[in-house]
Amino acid sequence: MASEKDKIMLLEDDETLGYLLQEYLNMNDFEVYWAKTGDEGWKMLEQNSYDLAILDVMLPDIDGFSFAKKINAVNPNLPFLFLTARSLKIDILKGFSLGAVDYLKKPIDEEVLVVRIKALLSRLKSKVEQNDDDDTFTLGNYTFDVVNQQLHYKDEVTTLTKRESELLHYLVTNKNRICTHKEILNHLWGKNDYFNRKSLNVFITHLRKYLSKDWTIKIENVHNRGFIFKTE
């Protein structure tokens, strides 16, 4: 029996590029659903589930960043990457801060895109399998629900982005030891570079804010080396 294909939602308003990407990805054993506007893409997300979303940043009715925020609010388990001509550092950092698993610049080599997608999905599926035995963690007065990507504190619930949840899970499972920048970046992003390190710092700031109600929990910075997750 043939294995089930990974389902990808492609949000791209450029007719030529959208057609080429859909055809090429379909040829490489993906099942691609193409939306040309944010509204059309949102309807597709409501009707079907996907393994990955590819989002163009510049759209006629909504920018890709705003669309990503809607994904985080409604379906935080859906990984997404940005495909865009915008290459300013501030845009790249913004994309990663929203939880993007990658940020690819146009023009894109279709073969490179396929390799990146396969590597991303393989890594994400591996993490899901690893999480099966560790679904819930008690962190001081917090409870961390890995599967639902939620932090519970008394009656408050904070829903994390996929990247925030992955980072917290990595730190928690390696608590009280230094997790180097290189280890974290290679494990979660698949590469250790300047932009991903900046993005990592943004996510660490987010997690510190979420965990700030319990002083016994600390994510300590080890200068030029990495971070230590500590609980008393």
pLDDT band, residue 152 (cuts 50/70/90): very high
Full residue range of the structural domain in which residue 164 is found: 134-231
Element spanning 16, H or E: helix 15-27
Tens digit of pLDDT for each residue in 100-151?
Answer: 888 888 888 888 889 888 888 887 766 554 444 468 888 988 999 988 899 9
Rounded CA gap, 10 and 15, in Å?
Answer: 12
CA angle 173, 174, 180 (to 5 degrees): 135
Q: Specify whether 78 is located in the same domain as 193.
A: no
pLDDT of residue 134: 61
CATH number of the CATH domain containing 117: 3.40.50.2300
Q: Specify whether 140 is located in the same domain as 120.
A: no
* Identity of the highest mean pLDDT range in 67-71, 87-91, 92-96, 142-146: 142-146
Tens digit of pLDDT for each residue in 29-41?
Answer: 999 999 999 999 9
Rounded CA gap, 37 and 116, in Å?
Answer: 24
Is residue 44 included in any domain, yes or no? Answer: yes
Rounded CA gap, 110 and 99, in Å?
Answer: 23
Decide which of 62 and 231 is more confident: 62
The residue among 74, 109, 130 that closes a domain is 130
Q: Of 42, 45, 33, 35, nearest to 11 (Cα)?
A: 35
Is-contact 100 203, C-beta < 8 A? no
pLDDT band, residue 1 (cuts 50/70/90): very low
Q: Specify whether 155 is located in the same domain as 52.
A: no
Tens digit of pLDDT for each residue in 32-84?
Answer: 999 999 999 988 888 888 889 999 988 888 888 899 988 887 777 788 899 88
Q: Specify whether 116 is located in the same domain as 138.
A: no
Q: Coil, strand, or helix at residue 192? A: coil
pLDDT of residue 232: 65
Residue 134: which residues within 8 A CB-CB, separation 6 or more?
A: 146, 169, 173
Q: Coil, strand, or helix at residue 123? A: helix
Q: Specify whether 125 is located in the same domain as 141.
A: no
Rounded CA gap, 205 and 203, in Å?
Answer: 5
Q: Specify whether 23 is located in the same domain as 118.
A: yes
Tens digit of pLDDT for each residue in 189-213?
Answer: 887 788 888 889 999 999 999 999 9
